[in-house]
Structure 1
Amino acid sequence: MDSYCYVPFEDEPGCDRFRVVTIFPGASDQAIQCTLEHVALGKSPDYEALSYVWGNPEDKADIFCNGRRLQVTADLHAALHHIRPLGSEPRRIWADAICINQRDNDERGRQVRRMREIYPKASRVLIWLGEAHDGSDEGLEAAREIAQACRQYAAERGDLKTISFSDGRASRLFGKFRDPSQFTRLEAFYRVIRRTWFTRVWVIQELALAAEATILCGNTVMDWKDLMDAITAQDHLNLHLADHERNAYIFILQKAREEWAQGMKLGLLSVLFRYRIFDSTDPRDKIFGLSSLARGKLADIQALQADYNIGTLQLYCTIAEEILKESRTLHLLSVPRRFVGIGPQHLPSWVPDWTNTRLTACLGLLNYSDINDLGFAATRASKAQIRFDDATSSLAVEGHIVDRIQAVGSVLKVEEVPRTNFREVRIPKCSYVLDNWLRVAEVKQEEPYITGEPIRDAFAQTLVTESTSESIETLRAQLDILESYASIARWLGSFSERKPPDTLVQQAVTAMHTALFHNTTDQLTLYFRIHMSSLADRRVFRTERGYIGLAAALAEAGEEVVVVKGGNVPLVLRPKGEAWTLQGDYYVRGIMQGEAYDGERCELMRIS
């Protein structure tokens, strides 16, 4: 049988047409039959939009479109099988791999730009998580029960974001999920949350723009709101296997949905920064897949118009240059740098690698926060002076060296923190590197810190990048709690390959926790925990002059602490011939409000 051949769209300016696929009823053992038709945005029939993961592009299956064979990925084929109607009425949907001619880069670019109109017009978005496996039916049934308990709790108590087992209503409604008999179901729910769909960049706009959203997993159907309620309760109540890093992806998705509905306007840098942890098969889609969510001066620039004839390197450089020109700030240089894995080749160090998907916050910020709200003024009210050298792909700035790094601590890599579930005991992740960091900062020395405050106080402020309004007495108490947890982490870290059975580890951790916190609180305050988000992928350091602070993972002893005119935070720069390479940004206790900045010392510095 002949393969399906796409009918091209009209080539005139202002063409607003797109394709809708009509799926005809059929039994599960029958081939999928459908038709494709061109429709105008303003006159389209009712349709649903499909959001799914492409999967392995080499794993293909056949459907029949207008009587001809059309190959689609196996994951899409499975989704079509499940949403195909069984009765007599056909079903209209929009699915990118069918409705866009993927072999035509020009059409692909034009239709991708049209997705910001296609998704809102759909009656609802169907989110296909994949076939039922690994107990997904059981896991989603547990999620339904948690969501039902959430509705009761919300009706009686209010906001789920403050839910805690210290509340008697929460214990009554959710208490059964603390019983080990429920752990198998919660483990199955955990595996559902870890499915690939939740980490893909395209799903952000697909969900944000959706009028309604429904989860499909095998034959199980669930409303998006119910799933969100279940994940919120699971996360805040620290139920069995609650994965707070993984849940962060889902909270970010929901945040995008809420903000779009509220009409919030985010600039291009804010959008790219917030959603950088999501992944894509094509690295250019880390820009194109988010362009619909950007508003403001850069929302309509040519570089944002999906064009698959442009290379990744050129696209990333052009976007970085446009952001720096428009903002006249250096916030772009605070986007976390890649320190593991491989990114686009020959990317200048000042250009963010948007393929880097690590969950790393800017200094003093939550992952949800806006990178343009950096609360520091390391060069006071100075204005950035930037120039671009196209011949060398370098960025010229003006700045001066403040100090040099003398010693660095271990990098806090969240993925290397033990994931054993301790039920009621939540060990802060920085506890696993705290001993090392205390030594590097020389917290036990008797002399005061360079600012005149006790060095222990300076260290506590460093852990939260002085971004909390809590009293120093509270911060001291928080550091005491962390040191107690560090003793548990030290014990857990003592095992190499031969670790005791989990039940014995659980009992030991519970006993140690009881002994350490007998008659004292073990609770870190909300704002302390929030601002510790900046610690992931960072390391404590000490300078030659005695400053301590947080540096990016790439920072090493011997590298320079530099303040750049117009920069809110100091930068880590490494000499490279007559130029410098950017290693990341710094928090340095005592110079974040311009105390070390001297405009007269500034000289031209070229970052390549």
Structure 2
Amino acid sequence: MASDSPPPSGLVEFQPTMPNYVYSPLSSAEAEIRLLAVEFNAKHVLRRINAPLLVGSLKKYNLPVPTLSRTQRMIRSARLPTFFALSYVWGDPTRTHDIIIDDKRLRITENLYTALRELQPSSLGFIWIWADAICINQDDLAERSAQVLLMREIYHSAADVKIWLGPSNENWMRCLRFISNLTEGSFISDVDSLPNAPTMDNNVEEMIMKAVMIPSGALARGVIGFGQSIIEVLDILDPPGLDEKAEMVQEEDGELSLHQETIEKFVKWKPPTRYLKRVENESFVEVADLIDRVFIQNCTWFERMWVVQELGVADNATIIASGGKSVSWSNLIRCVCYLHYTLHAPVKSIRNVIGMEKIRQGWNGRKRQPLRDLIRECRYRRATDPRDKIFSLLGLMGDKLNVYLKPDYSKSVREVYANAALHFIAQSESLDPLCSWQTLGRQNELPSWVPDYSLDQNLAPCPLVAIDGGSSIYNSSGHHHRSKYSRMDVAVTHESWSHLRTVGLCIDLVAVLSDPLQHSEPFGYAERLWNSTIRAAEEYLGGLTNEVKACLEGISSAVEKYSEYWTSLGDSSKDLDATDHLSKYTQSLDRDSKESIVTDGKALYLESIEPNLSPHDNYIVDAYAQTLLCGRKSARERISKEDIRIFMNLGEATNSRRAEILTTASNAFEAGMRQRSIAITRNGYIGAVPHNTHSGDFICVLFGCTVPVVVRKRGQEYLFIGESYLHGFMDAEALVMEMKGELNEQDFVLT
């Protein structure tokens, strides 16, 4: 990369009448970008109160995008200066600070202003920076839409992605010092090396600053530039951004499968002994908890959507802090992995960090995830503009860009989300992409069948449909042509994008429902509520015998014990090994309690799997037990009567098996009941439905969906409520009833 000439130097004085900066249009917003040049300022580096104004200059450059020829990319790369790309959180959107650009004032937020000030010492003379709020005309919707597609090339072309997490405090600096000492063996900034800097004479100050800062400046403009030039040459020869050469990969068992071997190197990393001596006086458990809270949970950067792509395409990334201190992103990963996996000092939110790193390694290795998987990976993240829940991930996805996904900020949120849903339907030839999303608190203006991608999907029920590209464990619409959704041409060509037309079978009406629970309630409390609902629906179930009531009591007693066990672990401990689960739990119990967890419910529930119950009674007990679990042992495995017998008779298991059963069963009950209500239909069917289901809603099988769904009739159209489990209708039984003339095919228009 060639270095560019600096902007005009000299002090600029702020004038109240100074005009506002006006952007000149980009020649081509799909290939051209602006870079900000900021002048080095020694007084600011030394924290002088009278530091001059923040002054910069904007200049336009063409990016060496992968769609160009090698020669064209080489020419553009040679003309592009070495620059840093800033990854930060806007914070308070009020623009309270100024940057002077070409003798004109541009208002910016406090967070951006502070980040730019921290980057100023990175080079003597001037430094080139790309920051979205300055380098993109935010008032030009067409430019914003076009620049979205360049974001990945911008951050990948940068010499380093500088991550500004916000102003530092004492705890923040303690974490940064620990990470640096553990992974690098030192923690010092350029300014720290200046003795008594604030009291030095200005001339002496300038001389020392030059002596100290020249190595840093050379690094920013020389070494990094040289290294980046090599990277750019490799990119020109074989750019990772070439999507046609990228492989689309799926999740495996709910975990990202991207470059697992790369993550393993972080998990297995151990610091040298001399580095461990630097942190030997620290409490590792305390520091792990502090890093989790300070760096991840309480830092809004880790909640932001755009940072996934900004970090995901970066060759190098550095977290910067106040006072010129910094730590590399890779060293943060090494530190949290060492604490969590090697020392068993839990970093509760480690998956958030690891997930981002897997995406980064995957993108640079031409491994792309489907957009739908990326949205789920970022389910807890936030975006100031809800449309960015989609647009911010387009550069990382393995899906081909099409008319549904092309970013356009002139479109409403409802249209952007509807188009994304239509893309997922067309891609999978299935209605499953509409299922398993959070429904509580969704935007009212969205069509009912369109998932609200802006919501925190951690609050959604555990999905019943396959979300990882694998085969579904259910088969409500069969395996023949009805298993695929094939009406996309009708939906797109002849109807508004807000309507979705399909065909299916209406099974029954919901008659009785349990009340919804708060998200924080344990599943044992949910089971008691479900149990009382079953008893209250006796008239629809054809009566409940004493034997059935005894079995229901036995089930309730056993589930309560699992719930107590699971609740006692705490969220952080649930990521540990199953044996550690049991050890932690039993240490807190007296002997009688330890005995009760393996005996309660045993004699009562055994009757439910023996032939002395009538077929009708056996159906009720089996349907209830299966519905508690939504018919699953895990996301990939159906539950069997033998599995349920084992769950309800834990005392028969050996000690070595008990820990595994406790964890498996607790997970299964949690996944089955969380955010769901039990429903009994008019014809006595039992199932689990979304919390927002009403009495009188229909449970249907829609062709092209692997699980039954709940819909609500509104005039001649239907509202889509969500996926459901209906015992006895998860394996094409509704299609058999249609063949017998008991159910009739009908059209559904979802709005």
Do the two structures share a fold, i.e. TM-score over 0.5?
A: yes
What does residue range 275-354 of structure 1 map to in structure 2 within 5 Å? 275-297=378-400, 299-301=401-403, 303-340=404-441, 343=443, 345-354=444-453
Partner Cα distance (1:434, 1:72) in 2? 53
Contact 1:105 1:308 in 2 (8 A): yes
Cα deviation for residue 444 of structure 1 reads 1.1
What does residue range 90-101 of structure 1 map to in structure 2 within 5 Å? 90-101=126-137
CA distance 1:459–1:530, change in 2 (3 Å) = closer
Contact 1:201 1:278 in 2 (8 A): yes
Q: Compare CA radii of gyration and give the structure with the larger one.
A: 2
State the percentage of identical aligned residues.
24
Counterpart check, 1:266 vs 2:266 = no
Match of 2:296 in 1: 193
Deviation track 1:337-380 (CA, whole Å, cap 9, x = no partner) reads: 4312x52x4221011222222313652479xx526754422111
Match of 1:403 in 2: 508
Cα deviation for residue 54 of structure 1 reads 0.7
Contact 1:138 1:189 in 2 (8 A): no
Q: Please tell me the residue identity of whatever aligns with 1:125.
A: V
Partner Cα distance (1:365, 1:577) in 2? 29
Match of 2:680 in 1: 543
CA distance 1:191–1:585, change in 2 (3 Å) = same
Counterpart check, 1:436 vs 2:529 = yes
Contact 1:178 1:240 in 2 (8 A): no
Partner Cα distance (1:258, 1:527) in 2? 31
CA distance 1:183–1:272, change in 2 (3 Å) = closer
Counterpart check, 1:211 vs 2:309 = no
Contact 2:501 2:750 in 1 (8 A): yes
CA distance 1:20–1:580, change in 2 (3 Å) = same
Match of 1:378 in 2: 476
Counterpart check, 1:604 vs 2:724 = no
Deviation track 1:132-175 (CA, whole Å, cap 9, x = no partner) reads: 136211234455677799xxxxxxxx777799xxxxxxxxx9xx
What does residue range 170-569 of structure 1 map to in structure 2 within 5 Å? 183=286, 186-187=289-290, 189-194=292-297, 195-219=299-323, 220-232=325-337, 242-243=347-348, 246-297=349-400, 299-301=401-403, 303-340=404-441, 343=443, 345-359=444-458, 360=460, 363-364=463-464, 370=468, 373-381=471-479, 382=482, 383-386=484-487, 387-388=490-491, 390=495, 393-409=498-514, 411=516, 413-414=518-519, 416=520, 430-431=523-524, 433-437=526-530, 439-440=532-533, 444=552, 446=608, 449-450=618-619, 456=625, 459-460=628-629, 462=631, 464=633, 467-468=636-637, 521=658, 534-535=671-672, 538-544=675-681, 545=683, 547-569=685-707
Partner Cα distance (2:336, 2:646) in 1? 31
From 39, 51, 63, give the equivalent of 1:24.
39
Deviation track 1:112-138 (CA, whole Å, cap 9, x = no partner) reads: 221121111112211111111362112
Partner Cα distance (2:527, 2:281) in 1? 30
Moved more, 95-104 or 585-594: 585-594
Cα deviation for residue 98 of structure 1 reads 1.2
Cα deviation for residue 253 of structure 1 reads 2.3
Contact 2:414 2:447 in 1 (8 A): no
The residue matched to 2:735 in structure 1 has which SS? coil
Match of 2:733 in 1: 595
Deviation track 1:73-93 (CA, whole Å, cap 9, x = no partner) reads: 111111112121166242222
The residue matched to 1:207 in structure 2 has which SS? helix
Match of 2:24 in 1: 8
Partner Cα distance (1:325, 1:520) in 2? 44
Contact 1:24 1:85 in 2 (8 A): no
Cα deviation for residue 551 of structure 1 reads 2.5
Contact 1:142 1:186 in 2 (8 A): no
Partner Cα distance (1:461, 1:310) in 2? 38
The residue matched to 2:149 in structure 1 has which SS? helix
Q: Please tell me the residue identity of whatever aligns with 1:33.
A: V
Cα deviation for residue 532 of structure 1 reads 6.7
From 58, 78, 83, give the equivalent of 1:36.
58
Contact 2:676 2:688 in 1 (8 A): yes
Partner Cα distance (2:421, 2:527) in 1? 36
Contact 1:50 1:94 in 2 (8 A): yes
Q: Please tell me the residue identity of whatever aligns with 1:320.
A: A
Partner Cα distance (2:336, 2:687) in 1? 35
Contact 1:316 1:352 in 2 (8 A): yes
Q: Please tell me the residue identity of whatever aligns with 2:450.
A: V
Partner Cα distance (2:409, 2:327) in 1? 35
Partner Cα distance (1:147, 1:557) in 2? 59
CA distance 1:161–1:597, change in 2 (3 Å) = farther
Q: Please tell me the residue identity of whatever aligns with 2:637.
A: T
Q: Please tell me the residue identity of whatever aligns with 2:327.
A: M
Cα deviation for residue 474 of structure 1 reads 5.9
Match of 1:127 in 2: 163
Q: Please tell me the residue identity of whatever aligns with 2:36.
A: V
Contact 1:331 1:371 in 2 (8 A): no
Partner Cα distance (1:570, 1:234) in 2? 44
Q: Please tell me the residue identity of whatever aligns with 1:24.
A: E
The residue matched to 1:38 in structure 2 has which SS? strand
Contact 1:33 1:65 in 2 (8 A): yes
CA distance 1:268–1:202, change in 2 (3 Å) = same
Partner Cα distance (2:112, 2:661) in 1? 45
Contact 2:86 2:130 in 1 (8 A): yes
Partner Cα distance (2:697, 2:524) in 1? 26
CA distance 1:239–1:523, change in 2 (3 Å) = same
The residue matched to 1:433 in structure 2 has which SS? helix
Question: What is the TM-score when the length of structure 1 is the normalising length?
Answer: 0.75
Q: Which consecutive unaligned segments of at least 5 residues does structure 2 have?
A: 1-14, 64-75, 186-263, 270-275, 536-550, 554-607
CA distance 1:402–1:142, change in 2 (3 Å) = farther
Match of 1:166 in 2: none
Q: Please tell me the residue identity of whatever aligns with 1:594.
A: A
Q: Please tell me the residue identity of whatever aligns with 1:277.
A: Y
Cα deviation for residue 97 of structure 1 reads 0.9
CA distance 1:565–1:454, change in 2 (3 Å) = closer
- Larger helix proportion of the pair: 2
Partner Cα distance (2:352, 2:715) in 1? 40
Moved more, 77-86 or 466-475: 466-475
Cα deviation for residue 190 of structure 1 reads 1.3
Cα deviation for residue 396 of structure 1 reads 1.8
Partner Cα distance (2:390, 2:313) in 1? 17
Partner Cα distance (2:420, 2:728) in 1? 34
CA distance 1:40–1:278, change in 2 (3 Å) = same
Moved more, 553-562 or 49-58: 553-562
Contact 1:333 1:352 in 2 (8 A): yes
Q: Please tell me the residue identity of whatever aligns with 2:402.
A: D
Counterpart check, 1:111 vs 2:147 = yes
CA distance 1:251–1:127, change in 2 (3 Å) = same
